[in-house]
Structure 1
Amino acid sequence: MRRADELKNLANLDFERFERAGKPEAVFAEGKSVEDLVKIVKRFIEEGKSTLVTRLSREQIEALKSFEEVKINERGRIAIVGKPVSAKAGKVAILTAGTSDIPVAEEAAVTAEFLGLEVLRFYDVGVAGLHRIVEPVKRIREENVDSAIVVAGMEGALPSVIAGLVDVPVIAVPTSVGYGVNLGGITTLFAMLQSCSSGVAVVNIDNGFGAAVFAALISRVKRKAAGED
């Protein structure tokens, strides 16, 4: 009863979401106080359940370092509480156009690994140096990748280029990286929605988490169809 009272009027945690819907419970840390976030994380640990904590601040990261059950990726501002919820679920390639897009890509990578995906990372391979995509495309073709997450800011061209070269679904993630009328990623979002290449799905701005969940569901369906699950 005491533990229930600690979270009363604060959070109604969904411990069975992965079993029910194949998607993890995730705690969005932005806007939460350090004290409230610590209470939520403690509850997951007490229940022996796993979760992701996304969009961590520096202060929140420092507070969570005291828990041995928490693994933090500081660049992606994301943490895993407990153990991954799935194993050997598939494979995803994650590409970024630039180095500034890596934090969003790392959010996606940690989420994908939490969901049991093997992650191939290819960073800073944008269209300003188009020769850099040759090796990533070769690896995607050779390594039985189920989908590709392509993270880009600026004009957002990289997902369209990749989708024209590979035979797997491409999940485009616009980022808020860019000059002037980038408008916090809105320009990039619109560009990706207007992709000339087919087979491109677009998630919201900076939403690496959502892209990785989508990739995991693609892998699950593909492997069920192949009789691997």
Structure 2
Amino acid sequence: MEQPPRLARLPTGEAPCAVPSPHDSFHDLGFARADTGRAARTGDAEVIYGAGKTAEQVVALITALRAAHPDHPALVTRADGDIRSAVVAAFAQSEVDDEARSVAVGHFPAAVGRVCVVSAGTSDAAVAAEAAFTARVFGAGVSSIRDVGVAGVHRLLAVRDVLDSADCLVVVAGMDGALPSAVGGLTGVPLIAVPTSVGYGASFGGLAALLAMLNSCAPGVAVCNIDNGFGAGVFAARVARRAGDQQSARRAHSPVPEVSS
């Protein structure tokens, strides 16, 4: 069931009239209302959070979103094994990332811009993988650097050139949450930090890392919620896409150098 058309605002004294708008549309499935107008409003289609949903519900939501946005892949995050298996069985164009606990249906867009996902330790891999997979679905090229935590800072220094080549960085760390500050002191690339719930008792399930990142003395560091690789991936992809578009525009308008004979 589609939402009724909204009423247009007209000058005082005139009766309002119904004006359908793709920005306002949704599909009522009974158990959920798929926001089929989100892509028109933001440029990115709605994403399905798999936790707490049945496999049948997820398949129904994907079907609705794909019908509304055939050019946008439908992404499911925090999808357990049953959901991932059901999606692969129901849709031919499926790509699964078990480490990211995510699955996407449909062709990914051509990559624009470059995101680099940096993680402190192997225990942070699931959150880092979610960020990387999400950024790919949202149209950015992605590279990953793993296990470069501050306990061995020489590992980070060895990849400094890779950090500088990105349009946006996602830096994932648990425990003391120090890695984003270290990275932010080495490069001026926009950086989104993601604290993870990895750590012993006084890490308080990622709260210690979150507070450390919020108090970073390195400028240009933004922070996502604990374990929110998805949110970081979306943010980074949008930054990278905009940067990539601007670089393409500059190249298109730059004069072609003359070649002397």
Does residue 218 of structure 2 align to residue 194 of structure 1? no
Aligned to 2:73: 50
Aligned to 1:72: 96
8 Å Cα contact 1:45-1:69 kept in structure 2:
no
Does residue 144 of structure 2 align to residue 121 of structure 1? yes
Distance 1:106 1:217 in 2: 18
Q: CA deviation at 1:147?
A: 1.1
Cα 1:150–1:42 change in 2 (3 A) is same
* Number of residue pairs aligned between Structure 1 and Structure 2: 222
Q: CA deviation at 1:224?
A: 4.3
Aligned to 2:124: 101
Query: Quick one: which of 206, 209, 222 aligns to 1:185?
Result: 206
Give 1 or 2 for the bigger CA radius of gyration: 2
Aligned AA for 2:180? P
Q: CA deviation at 1:136?
A: 2.2
TM-score (norm 1): 0.89
Q: CA deviation at 1:130?
A: 0.9
Aligned to 1:157: 178
8 Å Cα contact 1:71-1:81 kept in structure 2:
yes
Q: CA deviation at 1:78?
A: 0.7
Q: CA deviation at 1:63?
A: 1.8
Aligned AA for 1:68? A
Structure 1 residues 94-132: Cα deviation after superposition (integer angstroms, max 9, x where no partner): 110000111111111111111221111101110111111
Aligned residue for 2:117, secondary structure, equals strand
Identity of aligned residues (%): 43
Aligned to 1:110: 133
8 Å Cα contact 1:89-1:115 kept in structure 2:
no
Aligned AA for 2:226? I
Task: Structure 2 unaligned segments of length 5 or more: list them.
Answer: 2-26, 253-261
Aligned AA for 2:82? E
List, as ranges, runs of 4+ consecutive aligned residues in structure 1 with deviation greater than 4 Å: none
Query: Quick one: which of 85, 104, 116 aligns to 1:62?
Result: 85
Query: Quick one: which of 159, 183, 187 aligns to 1:136?
Result: 159
8 Å Cα contact 2:135-2:141 kept in structure 1:
yes
8 Å Cα contact 1:87-1:115 kept in structure 2:
no
8 Å Cα contact 2:113-2:242 kept in structure 1:
no
TM-score (norm 2): 0.79
RMSD value over aligned CA atoms? 2.0
8 Å Cα contact 1:23-1:213 kept in structure 2:
no
Q: CA deviation at 1:197?
A: 0.7
Query: Quick one: which of 175, 178, 185 aligns to 2:196?
Result: 175
Structure 1 residues 26-46: Cα deviation after superposition (integer angstroms, max 9, x where no partner): 000001122212222233345
Aligned AA for 2:33? N
